[in-house]
Each structure stands twice: as C-alpha cells, then as structure tokens.
Amino acid sequence: MIAVVDDEESVRSALVRVLSAGGFAARGFATAREFLNSWQLDRPSCLVLDLQLPDISGMEVQIALKVAGAEFPIIVVTAQDSSSVRKECLRQGATAYLSKPLDPRELLRAVALAISGSR
C-alpha cells in the first residue's frame, strides 16, 4: 500500500487515483497526525508526503518516522520548492523530492524506484 499524506483533498484524491491507475494500492490521509497514528498497523510500502501540512510539517513527519525506525521509502512533494529544503529532505533520507504540480509519470516512476530499492 502506498500512503499519500496531503491536506488538499483534490490533490490527495488525484494522487491516489494516479497511483491506483498505475497498479498500486493507495490510501490517502488528510493530516500527518492521521497517518502517524496508523502507519504501524498497516505499514505502507512507500509514503508520498506533502511538506506543507497544517498540523505537523512533512519534515517533522519524516524525522519522526526515522526516529521510530520506519523503513519504508518516503517521496516528498511540495509546491514551494527550495534547494535548502530539498537538500535537508534528502539528507534526512527521502528517496525522492518532487515539485508540484506533479507529472503523473514522474510520480509513478519515483514510487516504482523507491519500492524496488533504487535511488
């Protein structure tokens, strides 16, 4: 299952549809807290994580997951691209960092590579 955390319902739904159409089972989460409260029960094979979230930032989620020992790949997505934030996300272990609006093919390629263990 690919987890998608994005607070914008239309974006979250679109990402889930793209992933489903690409052959992946996907589930959307509206908040970071919602995902953090459930990830250990239904461990995702990959996380697509928005950086700009209302409750906890995507960067904080990424760090919390790292501390908790989560071993699934994280693909960070953002509408506010910044080279310093990109570097920090990748330093913290993100498998990929994509800018919105997302190209569906780029997202599917990043997820496939992340799941296969390639970078």
pLDDT tens digits for range 50-59: 999 998 999 9
**Number of domains into which the chain is organized:** 1
105 Cα distance to chain centroid? 16
Does residue 20 sit within a domain?
yes
Does residue 109 sit within a domain?
yes
Does residue 33 sit within a domain?
yes
Does residue 119 sit within a domain?
no
**pTM for the full predicted model:** 0.94
- Output 9-17 pairs: Cβ under 8 A, ≥24 positions apart: 11/50, 11/100, 15/48, 15/77, 15/102, 15/107
Domain that holds residue 88: 2-114
Q: How far is CA 64 from CA 1, 23, 92, 111, in A?
A: 20, 29, 11, 21
Which tens digit of pLDDT belongs to each residue from 70-89? 999 999 999 988 899 899 99
SS3 49: strand
Are 81 and 99 a contacting pair, CB within 8 Å?
Answer: yes
Residue 48 sits in a domain whose CATH number is 3.40.50.2300
Does residue 82 sit within a domain?
yes
Which tens digit of pLDDT belongs to each residue from 4-53? 999 999 999 999 999 999 999 999 999 999 999 999 888 999 999 999 99
